[in-house]
Amino acid sequence: MDVFMDELDNLLAHLGVEDDFDLLGHLWGSMLAVHYASNRHPEGMKHLILADGSPSMELWARGMDALRERLPDDVQQDAVMVFYKRHVCNLDPWPKELLQSFEAMDKDPTVYTTMIGPSDIYIVGTLRTWSCVDQLQNISCPTLLVNSPMDEAQDVNFVPIFNKVNRVKWVQFARSTHLAFFEEPKRYFDVVADFCKTTDRMTYPFL
């Protein structure tokens, strides 16, 4: 993780915003963002937005293990796409940007298979044992959690953050799955924009 955090520091410095920035991460980006905020706790970070991620891949993987164990071996590959359509994106057809992402991953799966594994429900990659749950209390900036009841990032993944971070707000998107910025774009971007305007030091509620 250190090399990724170093690169984020380099990017912030290159853009000249290291003293005043908001950080939004989605899924893997959310994991990187929560690790960055927990370990580097940069003073220049004004808001942290964690969308559809987890502070512990180990926690996530255990849930996927339980799901996979209920599936016969001969249907697991077909089940992955059923899972994606139910818990990753419920739009039909999928947005072209999402299709392009999957096509790029299929063309060169090296990074995904190394870090995750064969699929989202078979996590055996280098990230499987990653966790920063024991460092969450180091996050000091206002933090927004975003997911949905049908999200592959289930509530159990966010509970440690909600319990340990002092200034936290949790927003769910009832009509979405894992990609609310595609499925409910207006509400998603309104929620994020409104949150980034907050400057008070109150504890934010679950909404």
Q: Give the residue extent of every domain in the chain.
A: 60-115, 138-207
How far does the chain reach from its first CA to its final CA, in angstroms?
31
CA distance 144 to 115: 26
CA distance 48 to 70: 36
CA distance 31 to 132: 9
How does pLDDT run along the chain (207 residues), one tens digit per residue? 888 899 999 999 999 999 999 999 999 899 999 999 999 888 899 999 999 989 998 888 887 787 777 766 665 667 788 888 989 999 999 999 999 999 999 999 999 999 998 888 788 899 999 999 999 999 999 999 999 999 988 898 999 999 999 999 999 999 999 999 999 999 999 999 999 997 654 444 444
HEC-encoded secondary structure of the chain: CHHHHHHHHHHHHHHCCCCCEEEEEECHHHHHHHHHHHHCCCCCEEEEEEECCCCEHHHHHHHHHHHHCCCCHHHHHHHHHHHHHHHCCCCCCCCHHHHHHHHHHHHCCHHHHHHCCCECCECCCCCCCCECHHHHHHCCCCEEEEECCCCCCCHHHHHHHHHHCCCEEEEECCCCCCCHHHHCHHHHHHHHHHHHCCCCCCCCCEC
What are the residues facing 119 on neighbouring strands? 122
Handedness of CA 180, 112, 154, 4 (dihedral sign): negative
CA distance 147 to 158: 9
What are the residues facing 25 on neighbouring strands? 50
Whole-prediction pTM: 0.89
